[in-house]
Structures are given as C-alpha cells and as structure tokens.
C-alpha cells in the first residue's frame, strides 16, 4: 500500500472521529434544549392557568362592586339596564379568559414544537447510522481528492497537458488531441 493512501486513510479516520465527537456534543446540547423547552411549555401552561384565575378573581371583584353600587343606589338589579350591563361585563370577562387561554395554548404549542425539533435533531446527530453515513462520505471525498491529485498509488496522474504546436492539446483548442 502506498504511503499517500495510508496517510489519507489515517487523516480520514481522524476527521471522522472529530465529526462524531462534534455530533455527540451537538446532540447533547440539542437534548438539553429540548428538555428546557418542555419545561418552558409546562411553565407556560401553569402561567396561563394562573392568569385566567387572576382575571376571574378581578371579574368577581368588579361584579361585586357593580352589584354593591346598584344596591346602594336602590337600583333593581333584575331591571333591564342593570341586568344588561352586568351580562355585558360577564361576556367581556368570558372573552378575555378565552383570549388568555388561546394565547397560552399557542405559546405552549410553540415551545413543544421547538422541543420536538430539538429532540429530533439530537436523535439524528446521535444516531450510529447518521455518523457512519457522514464518515463514509468524508472518507470517499478524501479518497477521491487524493486520487484526482495523483496519489492513488500509481493511478491517474493529472498533470499539465503537453504542449503541441503552440497550444495545449485537446479538441476545440486548435491543438493536436
């Protein structure tokens, strides 16, 4: 076996080892990121529930204050305008809680989608198949480059074309092919 081939193989192995180590480090980072994003999604769910409870509590206080104001003014709460106003305020509160829930759900889903993407990247980078495929590509690329450069142990020597009649050889160049 020719020394260039041995050196190419050794260099390829070192390069493949480095790629595998880099992939392992990136895989671990992506796995940590996925875990963080899952925790963020859980936190978002809790924050959404808390915000909804706070809004509901505020609405209860407002409703109580409105009913108290009507009662202190001797307004019949069952009358048309007072009842209509209280119903309208309750409808606004229901809409607000729905908006809080929708926003929280979207933020939770986004965090979970990002976590899934990070986990998928981690799984890919950490897989044996991915690393073997990448390493094989590195090896074949290096072998092709070496062979093209003429280091293939007596293979093709791609050197400068010979000069004929003032031109470099080859059809279409006016020289002798």
3-state secondary structure of 84: helix
Q: Compute the average pLDDT of residues 60-84.
A: 86
Phi-psi region of 79 (alpha: psi -120 to 50; beta: other; left: phi over 0): beta
Q: For the chain, give the mean pLDDT.
A: 84
Q: Tell me which H or E stretch contains 167.
A: strand 167-168
Under 8 Å between Cβ of 31 and 119: yes
Span 20-41, pLDDT tens digits: 999 999 999 999 999 999 999 9
Residues in contact with 49: Cβ distance below 8 Å, sequence separation at least 6, in sequence order:
104
Three-class SS of residue 164?
strand
> Average pLDDT for residues 146-164, to the nearest whole number?
58
Overall average pLDDT of the 37-53 stretch: 96
| Tens-place pLDDT, residues 98-109 | 999 999 999 999
Minimum mean pLDDT range among 44-58, 80-94, 147-161: 147-161
**Structure tokens that stand for 57 in this block:** 């509590």
Question: Cα dist. 27→63, 92, 171 in Å?
Answer: 54, 47, 52
């Amino acid at each position: 076996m020719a020394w260039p081939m041995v050196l190419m193989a050794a260099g390829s192995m070192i390069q493949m080892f480095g790629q595998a180590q880099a992939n392992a480090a990136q895989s671990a980072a992506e796995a940590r990121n996925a875990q963080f994003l899952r925790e963020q999604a859980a936190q978002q769910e809790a924050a959404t529930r808390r915000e909804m409870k706070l809004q509901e509590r505020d609405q209860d206080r407002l409703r109580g204050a409105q009913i108290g104001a009507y009662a202190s003014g001797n307004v019949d709460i069952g009358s048309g305008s007072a009842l209509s106003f209280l119903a309208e305020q309750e409808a606004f509160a229901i809409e607000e809680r729905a908006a809080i829930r929708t926003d929280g759900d979207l933020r939770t889903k986004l965090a979970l989608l990002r976590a899934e993407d990070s986990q998928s990247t981690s799984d890919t980078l950490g897989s044996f198949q991915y690393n073997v495929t990448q390493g094989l590509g590195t090896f074949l690329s290096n072998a092709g480059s070496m062979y093209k450069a003429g280091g293939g142990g007596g293979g093709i020597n791609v050197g400068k074309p010979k000069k004929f009649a003032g031109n470099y050889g080859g059809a279409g160049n006016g020289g002798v092919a």
